[in-house]
Amino acid sequence: MKLYALSLGAGLLVGVVYSLLNVRSPAPPLVALVGLLGILAGEQIIPIGKQLLCGTAFNAACDKTHTVSHLFGQLPGRHARQQAEDTDKT
């Protein structure tokens, strides 16, 4: 239940920011997509920052926190290739 309350709070905060910027929902597609990209990128700041503070290089920090797969999701064709590689390893 806590997760839902936090999600509602984040949504309310975003709604207030949209109101301050005079953007009405549903937002124009480009504005909405840029906002979603900001949310996804913002989620990665803390985990990557923790890795960087431990002395990890930026690329390694991105790999350890699975940032690329989180931001861009499963890229087309990658799943089949990954399954084939996993099959070859066993």
**pLDDT for res 16:** 85
The domain locations on the chain are: 8-74
Q: What would the mean pLDDT of 21-44 be, rounded to a whole number?
A: 78
pLDDT-derived band at 85 (thresholds 50, 70, 90) equals low
Kindly report the average pLDDT of the chain as a whole number. 78
DSSP assignment of the chain equals: -HHHHHHHHHHHHHHHHHHHTT-PSSPPHHHHHHHHHHHHHHHHHHHHHHHHHTT--HHHHHHHTTHHHHHH-SPTTHHHHHHHHHHHH-
What is the per-residue pLDDT across 57-83, written as a single tens digit (0 to 9) for each? 999 998 888 887 777 776 556 555 666
**pLDDT for res 28:** 67
Output the pTM of the full model.
0.49
